[in-house]
Structures are given as structure tokens and as C-alpha cells.
Amino acid sequence: MIYDFCVVGGGISGIAIAEILSRKEKCNICVLEKNSKLMSESSADQHGWFHLGSLYSFLENPSYLKNLIKNIKILNKYYKNFDRFNLFVDKFGKINFKNIEDSWFSGSTVNYYVASRNNPDLFSKNLLKKLINIVDWEIKIKKFISRHNKINDYNILFDNSEEILSKTNFINYNKKKILKPTSDQINIDTDTFFLMEGLDKPMRSKKIFSDLLSSFLFNKGEYFLNTKVLKVDNKNNYNEIILENKKIIKSKNVIFSCGYGLSEFTDQISVVESPLLTVYPSVFDGNLVKLTPNNDNTINHFNHEINGEFYSVIGSGLSCGLHDENEKKRIEQKLIEISKKFFLNFNINKFHKIYFGKKVEFKSSENRNYSYKIFKLSGKNNIATIPGKFSMAFSLAVDVYKYFYNEDPTNNLKKFKYIDYKDVSANKHYNIVENYLSSL
């Protein structure tokens, strides 16, 4: 048999792509995953922060926010018929969330604590440098606030909304939505930080993944575990996919969505390693992102649930090059240090564990590249994909569909049964806490 599509990699990008392609009638697709579970590498390592635009409002390059707004429109159009999908854009073009049990996105908010221009992180002994820091940061803050205001006021469903919203500068600046933070449970100087409710949401990654997989399997898609792809040979009308177990699979098109594994097939990617700190029980009642110009002082916190109890997943702006073990040790200590300083309920005697995950990006002239990317690999009909973020796998999937079919996918899902598959890994932080609790 010759498949129409073989997707290499069973992470979020592979499954989102396989699912959307399977919506086309009479299309044979398989997913090949080298591990014994799906969603077992970066897609399991991530901290469950679904990006809807807040963090990206801060970045210089407007293309990131543009992609995020496009992603919301894509979610609203092509994923709204999943029963547990709870985001919707109302008739005024405002983003809303339905209250559904086990939904893709949690109802709780993500609060942004942002350094104001009098924050000590902007200080420098050199007066000129200090002035530059202040002006530079003030521009970023004003853009951040203006973009939030505009997204809250504008009809996101307008045709060119992504263009308009991502280019918003100071025109919509006003202080209406700015709040004074309280220092309850956290060590924050309420005079040098302001608070704004963000657009982002915590996500239930395993539910999202399992729903996509349910739809894919209902559409007769197949997946194979413990199946590592070694290379692909191009034949006249198809590709021969050579597996580690010496077997060969034939497919007309091959899509490499294999995250860090892409480094075996292309040199167009860059990889950094980022730490996450898991703490049980939770050290803070909500979700927050603290932004300051000093990367070492930025921190974020997401609450996740296990059997009705909460634990903390804490991230930061810290990262290092691949396999830099010395730098990893320094970063681990630094993350513990800033967490201890910031969260009043954190102390070293609480159960805690740090792990590093790999962030895979398409190489670009910028220091970091958060954009999703589809690019050609050698050989006919072979492409590679990078989501940039778990959150962006949906735009990536729809664009891959359009790349091959030159038309829009259907959003008309057939009624299928939702199953929490045993072959889908839970998030790594969940497994860490679960193992700890079962060891008690």
C-alpha cells in the first residue's frame, strides 16, 4: 500500500497536521513515532500556557502577534466543532470562553506584572544608558498596553484584523485597564510594577491532543509507535521511508514534524534548552507572568491540577545552548533562587524538581524565532514543519493543508467518540507530581 501522507513525529504538530489532512475524503495517512507514546517530547515538556497574544504584544517584531491573531481566527473557524473546544469569538468579534468540563482552555486568567519605568531593573550607573533603558522599555510598555486595549475593542473577525492589531502602536494607549498589583503571596514592589489581565489561558494539553487524535482515528488515520524513521528515498511517484527496524513504508508525501529529531534531516533549525520548575503543593493561587527588562528576573507561574489539588509550574527567561551542562547547573540554581525570592510560599523543603526541554526554532537572523514554519526538504513532496509554540500548531496544520490541496479544509467534523488514549503521554510536570504522590 502507498499512503497519501506519512507524518514523521507524534507531537502536537504531527497530530494537528495529520488530523486536518484526514478531514479530506479518501486520504490515507499514517503518523510514525519513534517513542512508545505520542506527545512524549517537547509537546509534553511545555508548561501549558496557551498564547493568545499577550506575551507577543511585547515583542518588537509585529509578525509574532500577527500570527497569534490569525491563529485565534483559525481556531474559531476550524476547531469550533470539537465538543471540548471552549474558545469562541462572539458577534462583536470579542474572544470569549464557554464553561465546559474538561475543556481545552481553563477559565482562569493569566495576570501580567510588568515593570514600570521607575523599576530598579532599568537603572544604570551610566546616565545615558539609564535614559536609553527607560525610553526603550517605556515604548515596549505603551505598545503592550495599546495592543491589549485595541484587541479588547476591535472586531477580531474583520478581514485584516491581524494586520491592524499587530501594527497598533500608541494610538490606543490609556490607563483604564492598568491595575495596582497586590503583594499577596509574592514579593513584588507594588510601586515599580503594574498589573494587567492578560489574554492568554492555561491549556489542558492532553485533552487537546486526545481530541485531535480521536478525530484523526475516526477518519481512518493510523499511527505506529516505536517506529523511528532513518531516511527517505525518493522514487518516481512515491517515497520509500526506511525505518530503524529495517521495514519500509511507502508514501506519496512525507511531512517531517519531528521536533528536535529534525536535526538529523536538516541544518536549518536552532535549538535552545529551557528549564521548568515543578513544585507541589502550589506556591501561588493563580497564573502570572512577570516581565522586566532584566531577563534573569522574568518569571512565570502556571497552576495545574492533579486529583483536585494544585501544583506549580514555574518558567523564566533563562535558557542555554544544547547540552551545555555547566550552564544548565547555573540556570537551575538561578531558577531556584528567583523562585525562592519571588514566591513567599516557596521553600526548598517543598517537593520540587527541575527539568529542561528543547525549544526548536527555524534559524533566522533574530536571536529567537517564535514563528511557525513550513519548509521544503530535499526530495519531491517532502516538507518539514516547526510550530514555534504548541499554541501555533493549528495555524501550521491549516497552512500545510492549503500547501498540498490549495483549498480550505472543511470545518464540518463528523460526530465521533472522545477517548483519552493510553498511548498519549501526560505532561512531564504532571508525571513528576503523580510519581511523587504515589511514592508517599
Ligand X SMILES: Cc1cc2nc3c(=O)[nH]c(=O)nc-3n(C[C@H](O)[C@H](O)[C@H](O)COP(=O)(O)OP(=O)(O)OC[C@H]3O[C@@H](n4cnc5c(N)ncnc54)[C@H](O)[C@@H]3O)c2cc1C
> Judged by CB, which is closer to ligand X: 146, or 427?
427
Which candidate, 14, 435, 4, places its Cα nearest to that of 216?
A: 14
Q: Which three cell numbers stand for residue 429?
A: 510536570
Q: Determine the interface stretch with ligand X among 35-43, 247-255, 404-412, 414-422 (rule: CB under 6 A).
A: 35-43
Q: Among 106, 391, 395, 427, indicate the residue that binds ligand X (CB under 6 A).
A: 391
What's the min distance (Å) between Cβ of 265 and ligand X?
8
> Judged by CB, which is closer to ligand X: 42, or 339?
42
- Count, residues near ligand X per rule CB under 6 A: 38
> Judged by CB, which is closer to ligand X: 35, or 116?
35
Helix (H, G, I), strand (E, B) or coil at 148: helix
Q: Among 18, 32, 65, 320, indicate the residue that binds ligand X (CB under 6 A).
A: 32
What's the min distance (Å) between Cβ of 383 and ligand X?
13
What's the min distance (Å) between Cβ of 40 and ligand X?
5
Q: Which three cell numbers stand for residue 303?
A: 497552576
The verdict on 10 binding ligand X (CB under 6 A) reads yes
The verdict on 49 binding ligand X (CB under 6 A) reads yes
The verdict on 33 binding ligand X (CB under 6 A) reads yes
d(CA 394, CA 75): 7
The verdict on 42 binding ligand X (CB under 6 A) reads yes
d(CA 348, CA 206): 29
Q: In this structure, are strands 269-280 and 287-291 parallel, antiparallel, or unpaired?
A: unpaired
Residue 145 near residue 173, CB atoms below 8 Å: yes
Q: Among 73, 150, 304, 359, indicate the residue that binds ligand X (CB under 6 A).
A: 359
What's the min distance (Å) between Cβ of 389 and ligand X?
3
Q: Determine the interface stretch with ligand X among 172-180, 278-286, 333-341, 381-389 (rule: CB under 6 A).
A: 381-389
Residues 144-173, interacting with ligand X (CB under 6 A) = none
Which candidate, 278, 255, 229, places its Cα nearest to that of 437?
A: 278
The verdict on 317 binding ligand X (CB under 6 A) reads no
The verdict on 368 binding ligand X (CB under 6 A) reads no
* Angle in degrees, CA 295, 44, 264, rounded to 5: 85
Return the number of other C-beta atoms located less than 10 Å from residue 395's C-beta. 23
Q: Among 34, 73, 148, 290, indicate the residue that binds ligand X (CB under 6 A).
A: 34
Strand partners, 293: none
> Judged by CB, which is closer to ligand X: 242, or 306?
242
> Judged by CB, which is closer to ligand X: 261, or 286?
261
Residue 5 dihedral angles phi and psi, to the nearest 5°: -140, 135
Q: Among 21, 22, 41, 320, indicate the residue that binds ligand X (CB under 6 A).
A: 41
Amino acid letter for position 409: P
d(CA 21, CA 403): 11
Residues 190-229, interacting with ligand X (CB under 6 A) = 228-229
**Which residues 6+ apart lie within 8 Å of 66 measured at CB?**
162, 163, 165, 166
Residues 224-283, interacting with ligand X (CB under 6 A) = 228-229, 257-261, 274, 276
Residue 369 near residue 391, CB atoms below 8 Å: no
The verdict on 11 binding ligand X (CB under 6 A) reads yes
Helix (H, G, I), strand (E, B) or coil at 349: coil
Q: Among 47, 73, 352, 429, indicate the residue that binds ligand X (CB under 6 A).
A: 47
> Judged by CB, which is closer to ligand X: 162, or 200?
200
What's the min distance (Å) between Cβ of 49 and ligand X?
3
**Which residues 6+ apart lie within 8 Å of 364 measured at CB?**
371
The verdict on 43 binding ligand X (CB under 6 A) reads yes
Which candidate, 431, 434, 428, 439, places its Cα nearest to that of 48?
A: 428
Q: Among 23, 51, 66, 352, indicate the residue that binds ligand X (CB under 6 A).
A: 51
The verdict on 13 binding ligand X (CB under 6 A) reads yes
Q: Tell me, what DSSP letter sits at residue 410?
A: P
- Give per-residue burial for 269-280: e unless 16+ CB within 10 Å, then b: bbbbbbbbbbbb
> Judged by CB, which is closer to ligand X: 193, or 390?
390
Which candidate, 372, 360, 201, places its Cα nearest to that of 274?
A: 360
> Judged by CB, which is closer to ligand X: 141, or 331?
331
Q: Determine the interface stretch with ligand X among 42-50, 96-104, 206-214, 218-226 (rule: CB under 6 A).
A: 42-50
Residue 13 dihedral angles phi and psi, to the nearest 5°: -70, -40
d(CA 56, CA 147): 10
Residue 131 near residue 229, CB atoms below 8 Å: no
The verdict on 48 binding ligand X (CB under 6 A) reads yes
What's the min distance (Å) between Cβ of 112 and ligand X?
15
Return the number of other C-beta atoms located less than 10 Å from residue 345's C-beta. 14
Q: Enumerate binding residues for ligand X (CB under 6 A).
A: 8-14, 32-35, 40-43, 45-49, 51, 228-229, 257-261, 274, 276, 357-359, 387-391
